[in-house]
Amino acid sequence: EPPVNVSTLHKMKEAGDAIACLTAYDASYAMLVDNAGTDLVLVGDSLGMVIQGHDTTVPVTVDDIIYHTRNVARGLRRAFLVADMPFMSYRNPDQALENSVALMQEGGAMMIKLEGGDSQIEIVKHLARHDIPVCAHLGLKPQSVHKIGGFKVQGREPEKAQHMIDSAQRLQDAGADIVLLECVPNELGKAVTEALDVPVIGIGAGPDVDGQILVLYDILDITTGRTPRFVKNFMAGHDSPGVALQSYVQAVKNRDYPAPEHCFS
Ligand code: KIV
Ligand code: NA
């Protein structure tokens, strides 16, 4: 199968084919995730929590993301590789461009992801003008956890939901190639997906989005402590990580995941 690119992902949205996405942080898991048929792999700043053991993603640096992206890139043959821009690495358009270039040139990322809505419009425009593929991240923004006061569902109030739909549209107009939506009610996930031409990937955003993403360690039952409502343990009933990952990809493609118990409504 040929490697996945931006236009593959856009065609999948048009065809109504669910896009299966996962995070990965090293070459061995990247290989398993890729072999399972995952379409998009994100080197998320969630690595601050699951790899480094921090309570939040705030301490992660650009060099951390580059190191893990480089390792993941070596394990992939087919999946599209996205890397997260960490906290405070995109304070202005020039800094965002410089760090995006580093993630692409030194890490091997094919797209960068950044958190935020209207405040990121100028940055997304600047990156798009330089042909840097961008994934915008709306809804729950973990880098803002200390400002929000915890990891909470976003966009429950009608005016906030409408504002998120408008922001998503403005990000698309600014040049975002994908929008990721975290921790929002099903109805809002659906509304953003219908409003946009670009693919919308959800995590805790309900079933009516163009694709799903989860943190690898959460679905392999490695994460200890409390996991979010949208997490499903795919190791249950399977005796190897490879098989568990295949069952995740199948569940996303068949739209068996997420089930109502994984959703906010
Ligand atoms: O850092 C991350 O892993 C993410 C995904 C959970 C969307 O941003
Ligand atoms: Na992230």
24: Cβ below 6 Å to ligand 1?
no
CA of 99 to the centre of ligand 2 (A): 15
Count up the domains in the chain and report the number: 1
Average pLDDT, the chain: 97
CATH number, residue 30: 3.20.20.60
**Residue 1 maps to a domain:** no
64: Cβ below 6 Å to ligand 1?
no
Residues 193-219: tens digit of each pLDDT: 999 999 999 999 999 999 999 999 999
In this prediction, the answer to ipTM > 0.90 reads: yes
**Residue 199 maps to a domain:** yes
84 is in an annotated binding site: yes
**What's the pLDDT score for residue 40?**
99
**Residue 202 maps to a domain:** yes
Domain that holds residue 20: 6-262
Is 157 catalytic? The answer is no
Residues 148-202: tens digit of each pLDDT: 888 899 999 999 999 999 999 999 999 999 999 999 999 999 999 999 999 999 9
CA of 58 to the centre of ligand 2 (A): 10
The DSSP secondary structure of the chain, one letter per residue, reads -PPP-HHHHHHHHHHTPPEEEEE--SHHHHHHHHHTT-SEEEE-TTHHHHTT--SSSTT--HHHHHHHHHHHHHH-SSSEEEEEPPTTS-SSHHHHHHHHHHHHHTT--SEEEEE-SGGGHHHHHHHHHTT--EEEEEES-GGGHHHHTSS-----SHHHHHHHHHHHHHHHHHT-SEEEEES--HHHHHHHHHH-SS-EEEESS-SSSSEEEE-HHHHTT---S---TT---TTTT-SSHHHHHHHHHHHHHTT-SS-GGG---
CA of 183 to the centre of ligand 2 (A): 13
221 is in an annotated binding site: no
Q: Which of 98, 122, 159, 182 is catalytic?
A: 182
**Residue 36 maps to a domain:** yes
Task: Please compute the mean of the pLDDT values over residues 228-242 and round it to a whole number.
Answer: 96
Closest C-alpha to ligand 1, atom 2: 44
Residues 4-17: tens digit of each pLDDT: 999 999 999 999 99
23: Cβ below 6 Å to ligand 1?
yes
256 is in an annotated binding site: no
Residues of the chain with pLDDT > 90: what percent? 96
**What's the pLDDT score for residue 1?**
85
**Residue 200 maps to a domain:** yes
**Residue 91 maps to a domain:** yes
